[in-house]
């Protein structure tokens, strides 16, 4: 059978096919338009949740400490402008033709050892290319700040649009309490003229140390009802920790107890036990091995478990206890000689109602 | 008409089109090195024509028919030739079937191109989401409290913002709480924290985000390993009067970029400064209009679903012994996400595991495992593990399978018809 097809008939076929396809193709073309709708509010992303806060506590800087008191000799022509949002003091300098420069004193979290990053942060702001660590180190000159040796560096900005070129002279001093930044910035001519006065100002800084902290670290566990064993000292908990105790040392052997509470099991028993094992240098285990390692803690709470692991003189006794929709992670970690005598008291503590 | 008919049904046209197709694929592939994957795909394959080629870093001012032109002409040529030479004969059944398969492949590709959409769903362990977001496009979202856990949202797509910036027009709409004039639109930008000891140049504007961050326009990126982060300088005006100039930036509205920025500051400047950066970067930018408190964000364009996915457990396994100081993350062995689907419309509530080559197909969407940040190191660093799924909507996803199957069956049938005929003739002799 042979079908004779005329061009007209074929054109008709394509017309029909086009009529069918066109709406489909147009439906796929999304014309941008303003739309409105109701939606559930965005829930905040869960806060970082590590069942083990000990490492974080070590990594985190110490809690805020009292700042030292600063005094200085004010150079001629400088006006005190009071503290800023984060600066503890600021000064304004008016040069020729009303051109201005500012001086600020700002304490920041300790940045010792990160000088290259600081220099590059300034350079990025000024639109200057990044420097290698060695090159950045060459930018730093020693400068005296209140009897201590600080580091001084300079950065210039190019004028862009309505912004005039600027020069910034910064001195930084790393102290135990903070990294202190003294900055002279503003119109190039004013900054150049005031640079010697700025260096003298830095020398004139007098630092009166804050009184030593005698108060004991607040007992983070004070809101809990649990019975803390005799001899355990409450210390400031680290990040992700709800309580921390130092247990009596046994000679040079030391150990700590930490408690972290989370709304989930943060990766399950295997994940947490594996993490704990790594902390004392042990390798991964399988689910089957886990069953052998873990002992039930409370017949009334089937999810509560205890694990006791030792390696190379270090011992870790951990417990996971689900209570009222929350998971309590207890950990006694330290030198074997200090941990072993505390096991009984630790278990009693874990079992006590928090 | 007869001449046109002859051209459309000619085999020469097929050869020319196939030749042009080969050239286009070669040129389009080479151009990816200079233009980037997405732009090259769009300019060479998703357009009717290409004007100006990029070859090995050189601009060549030559025209070329685009992928749409070649594909549509091939389809018309194939159908026309088939209609013209159509002979209903059982002996040619295999040929008809093969042609039908090729037509299905071409039409299916066209439909995929027009209708398919790709988004990403990034969620943290324990987090539920009802939406996924674009990896490349952004939208300006105005949100206000709608009572309870709901909010009223008005969004302006990136394309409209770009058009408004080019034309210098004010965007007005009954749905919008304010009129929006896009003073500047930077397709790609950089941000820097205006730390108190280094805030030197005056901020771009004295409202909201700009008080704490500086933004600077930077060159468009075409690399697959990086993305363009737009920033817009907006002038808002309510019926009561002007509301000033505001900055809206992907650096603040894109969760991924916020995390990336904060991580960078944490590594460089320590956790305390990083915490301050996060707090200021995610602080809502708010204003009053029409008796309501509104917030504005430039965020990745969202697609909402009537159901939620909760990440129950992301698993990032590595090969044993590969976690070393040189490779602290280890060599990945398997990424998988255990998720819960909750659909109030169908009352569905079940758990599913998504892993490589085992995507979740649900309600017309396919969820593939894309990225994972759930390694041991992630947990040790105190970060909540997360997983990213690629969400693909492709109504024509079955056509390549069906097309190839039909072509294969047609070829086998045609071969068998010939083989059986040949064997029969030999036997007869």
Both A276 and A202 in one domain: the answer is no
Place of tokens 């394509």: A14
Total tally of structural domains belonging to chain B = 3
Both B294 and B388 in one domain: the answer is no
Has residue B332 been placed in a domain?
yes
Both A189 and A228 in one domain: the answer is no
Q: Given this model, what pLDDT does residue A17 score?
A: 62
Has residue A183 been placed in a domain?
yes
Render pLDDT for A19-63 as a digit per residue (tens, 0 to 9).
Answer: 556 555 555 556 789 999 999 888 766 544 333 333 333 333 333
CA distance A292 to A288: 7
What confidence tier does A64 reach under pLDDT thresholds 50, 70, 90? Answer: very low
- Chain A residue numbers touching B269 (CB-CB < 8 A): 109, 111, 114, 117-118, 121
Domain residues for the domain of B252 are 136-302
Q: Is B171–A49 a contact, with Cβ atoms under 8 angstroms apart?
A: no
The rounded percent of chain B whose pLDDT value lies above 70 is: 95
Average pLDDT of span A248-257: 86
What confidence tier does B60 reach under pLDDT thresholds 50, 70, 90? Answer: confident
Contacts of B327 (CB under 8 A, 6+ apart): none
Has residue B214 been placed in a domain?
yes
Has residue B146 been placed in a domain?
yes
What are the b/e assignments for B357-375, b being 16+ CB within 10 Å?
eebbebeebbbbbbebbbb
Q: Is the pLDDT of residue A215 over 60?
A: no
| Alpha-carbon gap: B55 to the closest alpha carbon of chain A (Å) | 30
Assigned token pair, A290: 């886990």
Q: Given this model, what pLDDT does residue A221 score?
A: 41
Has residue B127 been placed in a domain?
no
**CB contact at 8 A, A122 and A139:** no
Average pLDDT of span B100-108: 90
Nearest CA among B354, B309, B352, B350 for reference residue B334:
B354
In this complex, the residue of B79, B153, B270 whose CB is nearest that of residue A37 is: B153
Q: Is B379–A267 a contact, with Cβ atoms under 8 angstroms apart?
A: yes
Q: How many residues does chain B have?
A: 429
- Chain B residue numbers touching A121 (CB-CB < 8 A): 192, 195, 198, 268-269
| Alpha-carbon gap: B28 to the closest alpha carbon of chain A (Å) | 23
A64-78, A96-110, A166-180: the lowest-pLDDT one: A64-78
- The three-point CA angle A203-A206-A208 to 5° equals 155
Q: Is B295 exposed, middle or buried (0-12, 13-18, 19+ CB in 10 A)?
A: middle
**Which secondary-structure segment (H or E) carries A151?**
strand A148-157
Domain residues for the domain of A90 are 69-208
The residue out of A180, A208, A236 marking a domain boundary is A208
| DSSP secondary structure letters along B195-225 | -TTT--SPPS-SSGGGGTEEEEE-PPP--TT
Both B220 and B248 in one domain: the answer is yes
CA distance B69 to B62: 16
Has residue A50 been placed in a domain?
no
The residue out of A147, A176, A208 marking a domain boundary is A208
Place of tokens 């989370």: A262
Q: Which of B126, B201, B344 is the best residue to mutate to test the A interface, defined by the most A CB atoms within 10 Å of its own CB?
A: B201
Average pLDDT of span A112-117: 79
Q: How many CB pairs under 8 A join A and B?
A: 189
Q: Which of B197, B216, B272 is the best residue to mutate to test the A interface, defined by the most A CB atoms within 10 Å of its own CB?
A: B197
- Chain B residue numbers touching A178 (CB-CB < 8 A): none
- Chain A residue numbers touching B155 (CB-CB < 8 A): 34-36
Q: Is the pLDDT of residue A84 over 80?
A: no
Q: Given this model, what pLDDT does residue A54 score?
A: 33
- Enter the DSSP assignment of A127: T
Q: Given this model, what pLDDT does residue A3 score?
A: 46
Q: Specify the higher pLDDT residue, A107 or B51.
A: B51
What confidence tier does B140 reach under pLDDT thresholds 50, 70, 90? Answer: very high
The residue out of B235, B268, B302 marking a domain boundary is B302
Q: Is B383–A48 a contact, with Cβ atoms under 8 angstroms apart?
A: yes
Compare all CA atoms of chain B with the CA of A238 and give the residue at the minimum distance. B382
**Residue A74: CATH number of its domain:** 2.60.120.1690
CA distance B255 to B96: 53
Both A161 and A184 in one domain: the answer is yes
Place of tokens 């396994």: B317
Average pLDDT of span B395-407: 93
Has residue A23 been placed in a domain?
no
- ipTM for the predicted complex: 0.78
Q: Given this model, what pLDDT does residue B306 score?
A: 93
The residue out of A179, A208, A237 marking a domain boundary is A208
Average pLDDT of span B107-123: 88
Q: Is the pLDDT of residue B199 over 70?
A: no
Both A165 and A249 in one domain: the answer is no
Q: Is A97 left (phi over 0), alpha (psi -120 to 50) or beta?
A: left
Nearest CA among A158, A124, A155, A157 for reference residue A140:
A155
Both B195 and B273 in one domain: the answer is yes
Has residue A261 been placed in a domain?
yes
Average pLDDT value over all residues in chain A: 76
Total tally of structural domains belonging to chain A = 2
Q: Given this model, what pLDDT does residue A57 score?
A: 32
- Enter the DSSP assignment of A41: P
Both A196 and A81 in one domain: the answer is yes
Both A80 and A163 in one domain: the answer is yes
In this complex, the residue of B124, B150, B379 whose CB is nearest that of residue A40 is: B150
Q: Given this model, what pLDDT does residue B294 score?
A: 92
Has residue B218 been placed in a domain?
yes
In this complex, the residue of A39, A47, A157 whose CB is nearest that of residue B153 is: A39
């Amino acid at each position: 059978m042979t079908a004779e097809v005329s061009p007209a008939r074929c054109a008709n076929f394509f017309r029909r096919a086009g009529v069918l396809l066109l709406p489909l193709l147009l439906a796929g073309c999304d014309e941008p338009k303003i739309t409105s709708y109701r939606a559930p509010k965005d829930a905040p992303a869960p806060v970082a949740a590590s069942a083990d806060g000990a490492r974080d506590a070590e990594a985190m800087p110490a809690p805020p400490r009292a700042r030292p008191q600063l005094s200085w000799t004010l150079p001629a022509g400088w006006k005190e402008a009071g503290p800023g949002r984060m600066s503890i003091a600021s000064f304004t300098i008016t040069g020729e033709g009303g051109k201005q420069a500012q001086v600020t004193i700002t304490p920041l979290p300790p940045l010792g050892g990160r000088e290259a990053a600081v220099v590059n942060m300034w350079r990025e702001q000024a639109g200057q290319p990044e420097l290698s660590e060695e090159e950045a180190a060459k930018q730093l000159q020693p400068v005296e700040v209140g009897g201590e040796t600080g580091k001084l560096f300079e950065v210039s900005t190019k004028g862009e649009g309505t912004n005039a070129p600027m020069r910034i002279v910064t001195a930084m001093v790393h102290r135990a309490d903070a990294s202190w930044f003294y900055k002279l910035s503003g119109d190039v001519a004013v900054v150049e003229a005031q640079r010697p006065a700025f260096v003298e100002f830095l020398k004139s800084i007098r630092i009166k140390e804050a009184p030593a902290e005698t108060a004991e670290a607040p007992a983070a566990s004070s809101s809990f009802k649990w019975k803390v064993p005799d001899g355990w000292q409450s210390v400031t908990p680290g990040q992700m920790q709800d309580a921390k105790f130092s247990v009596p040392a046994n000679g040079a052997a030391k150990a700590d107890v930490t408690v972290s509470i989370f709304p989930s099991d943060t990766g399950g028993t295997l994940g947490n036990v594996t993490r704990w094992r790594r902390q004392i240098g042990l390798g991964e285990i399988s689910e089957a091995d886990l069953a052998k390692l873990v002992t039930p803690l409370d017949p009334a709470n089937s999810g509560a478990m205890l694990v006791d692991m030792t390696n190379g003189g270090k011992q870790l006794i951990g417990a996971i206890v689900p209570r009222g929709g929350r998971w309590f992670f207890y950990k006694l970690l330290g030198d074997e000689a200090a941990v072993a005598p505390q096991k009984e008291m630790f278990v009693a503590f874990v079992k006590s109602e928090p | 008409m007869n001449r046109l008919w002859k051209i459309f049904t000619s085999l020469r046209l097929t050869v020319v089109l196939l030749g042009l197709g080969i050239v286009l694929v070669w040129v389009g592939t080479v151009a990816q090195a200079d233009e980037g994957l997405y732009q090259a795909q769009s300019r060479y394959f998703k357009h009717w024509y290409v004007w100006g080629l990029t070859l090995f870093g050189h601009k060549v001012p030559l025209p070329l028919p685009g992928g749409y032109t070649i594909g549509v002409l091939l389809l018309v040529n194939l159908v026309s030739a088939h209609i013209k030479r159509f002979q209903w004969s059982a002996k040619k059944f295999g040929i008809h079937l093969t042609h039908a398969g090729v037509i299905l492949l071409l039409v299916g590709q066209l439909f995929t191109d027009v209708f398919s959409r790709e988004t990403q769903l990034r969620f943290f362990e324990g987090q539920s989401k009802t939406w996924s977001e674009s990896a490349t496009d952004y939208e300006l979202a105005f949100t206000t409290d709608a009572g309870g856990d709901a909010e009223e949202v008005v969004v302006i797509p990136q394309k409209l913002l770009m058009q408004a910036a080019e034309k210098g027009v004010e965007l007005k709409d009954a749905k919008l709480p304010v009129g929006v004039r896009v003073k500047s639109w930077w397709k790609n930008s950089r941000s820097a924290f205006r730390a108190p000891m280094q805030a030197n140049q005056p901020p771009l504007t004295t409202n909201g985000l700009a008080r704490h961050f500086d933004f600077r326009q930077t060159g468009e990126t075409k690399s697959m390993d990086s993305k363009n982060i737009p920033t817009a300088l907006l002038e808002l005006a309510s019926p009561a009067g002007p509301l000033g100039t505001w900055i809206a930036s992907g650096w603040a509205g894109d969760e991924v970029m916020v995390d990336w920025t904060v991580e960078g500051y944490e590594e460089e400047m320590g956790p305390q400064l990083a915490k301050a950066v996060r707090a200021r970067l995610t602080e809502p930018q708010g204003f009053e209009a029409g008796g309501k408190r509104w917030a504005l964000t430039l965020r990745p364009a969202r697609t909402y679903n009537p159901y939620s996915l909760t990440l129950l457990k992301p698993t990032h396994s590595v090969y044993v012994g590969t976690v070393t100081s040189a490779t602290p993350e280890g060599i990945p062995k398997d990424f998988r996400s255990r998720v819960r689907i909750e659909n109030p419309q169908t009352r569905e509530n079940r758990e599913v595991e998504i892993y490589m080559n085992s995507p979740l197909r649900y309600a017309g969407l396919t969820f593939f495992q894309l990225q994972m940040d759930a390694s041991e190191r992630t947990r040790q660093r105190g970060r909540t593990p997360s997983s990213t799924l690629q969400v693909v909507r492709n109504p024509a996803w079955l056509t390549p399978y069906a097309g190839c199957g039909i072509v294969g069956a047609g070829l086998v049938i045609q071969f068998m018809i010939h083989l059986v005929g040949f064997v029969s003739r030999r036997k007869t002799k």
